[in-house]
């Protein structure tokens, strides 16, 4: 979850290893909850789960943005995507106002849309799932009071990604919200 994204591996391969470690105890707690409540059931059902993007501390975000190009823009939103966990910016404010943590993941030899549907059908306590297509990893977040919302990302004629809520969420997930 800390060293899984393409940019981290690219830099590590060049000898520049980013520690990418959370500083806030609440981020560590969210990571543990994500693993216990969402990733463990996925591993038990499907075996291997490949994380393609996990916790994103400030140094990693800077590296991702620096590596972005016109052809391959940085498709990240630290203020809203929960990959920053409960971390603080240089002014002492939360980077992302949402509680919890997020990962992007795929399961080898499985359709990502079907894996995400299994998460829904099992009523696992996910906060949000962002779907792209059946081959790409999907985004899944954990929150102490998960809403269970599913968003499909559509590509517009201009190539931009636009969200469309396909499952509004639930009023109560495991009695928490």
The whole-angstrom separation of Cα 3 and Cα 7 is 9
**Residue 174's pLDDT is what?**
44
User: H or E element: which one contains 13?
Assistant: helix 6-13
Q: How far apart are CA 92 and CA 128, in angstroms?
A: 26
6-167 to CATH, choices 3.30.2310, 3.30.1380, 1.10.20, 3.40.50:
3.30.1380
Note the pLDDT tens digit of each residue in 117-162: 999 999 899 999 999 999 999 999 999 999 999 999 988 888 788 8
Q: Residue 47: pLDDT above 70? A: yes
pLDDT tens per residue across span 86-112: 999 989 999 999 999 999 999 999 999
Give the whole-number percent of the chain exceeding pLDDT 90. 68
DSSP 29: H
CB burial of residue 2 (10 Å; 0-12, 13-18, 19+): middle
> What does the domain layout of the chain look like in residue ranges?
6-167
pTM (two decimals) = 0.87
């Amino acid at each position: 979850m800390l060293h899984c994204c393409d940019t981290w591996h690219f830099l590590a391969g060049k000898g520049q290893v980013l520690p990418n470690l959370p500083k806030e105890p609440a981020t560590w707690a969210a990571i543990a909850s994500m693993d216990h409540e969402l990733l463990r059931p996925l591993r038990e059902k499907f075996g291997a789960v490949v994380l393609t993007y996990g916790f994103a501390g400030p140094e990693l975000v800077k590296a991702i943005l620096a590596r972005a190009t016109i052809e391959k823009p940085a498709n990240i939103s630290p203020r809203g995507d929960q990959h920053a966990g409960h971390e603080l910016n240089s002014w002492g404010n939360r980077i992302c106002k949402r509680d919890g943590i997020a990962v992007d993941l795929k399961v080898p030899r499985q359709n990502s849309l079907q894996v995400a549907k299994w998460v829904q059908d099992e009523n696992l306590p996910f906060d949000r799932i962002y779907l792209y297509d059946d081959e790409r990893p999907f985004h899944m977040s954990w929150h102490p009071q998960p809403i269970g919302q599913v968003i499909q990302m559509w590509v517009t004629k201009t190539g931009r990604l636009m969200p469309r809520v396909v499952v509004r969420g639930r009023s109560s997930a495991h009695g928490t919200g």
